[in-house]
Amino acid sequence: MRRGEVWWYEHPDFKPRPVLILSPEQAIDTIDELYVVLATTTIRDLPTEIALGPADGMPTACVLTADQIDAADKAFLTRPITTLSAEQMTEVSRALTTGGGEDYVSAAPGPDFGPED
């Protein structure tokens, strides 16, 4: 498993779906859950979507939804589907930011630890 690969995620509680591995390359072998971007066939033409299809190695036309990031247990990542190109990963990085240029991760509210001493 590598960052940038799309795998089938087949958790028994959810319908099978492709997911893009986002976790840092050096962490993948040492952790049990990976950060992933979920794919869907519901295409809304949002700036947070990355279109993929059979020409990209996907089974059908779909989008990666960069506003739907989840943690996936590696045990349920069953089969590789395709690997995104460097250009597509750049598009994923772009989609991870909102239209106003605000990064989703840095915009997420975090714990307030109070003033530094």
Task: Catalogue all structural domains in the chain, each as residue range(s) with its CATH number.
Answer: 5-97 (2.30.30.110)
**pLDDT score, position 98:** 59
What pTM was computed for the model? 0.82
Mean pLDDT by 10 residues, the chain (117 residues): 96 95 93 95 92 96 93 97 96 77 45 44
Between the alpha carbon of residue 53 and those of residues 9, 50, 100, the distances in Å are 17, 10, 27
Q: Is 43 within 8 Å of 60 (Cβ atoms)?
A: no
Contacts with 109 (C-beta within 8 Å, 6 or more apart), sequence order: none
What's the gap between Cα 115 and its chain centre? 34
**pLDDT score, position 112:** 44
What is 69-107 written as a DSSP string?
A: EEEEEGGGEEEEEEE--HHHHHHHHHHTB-TTS-BHHHH
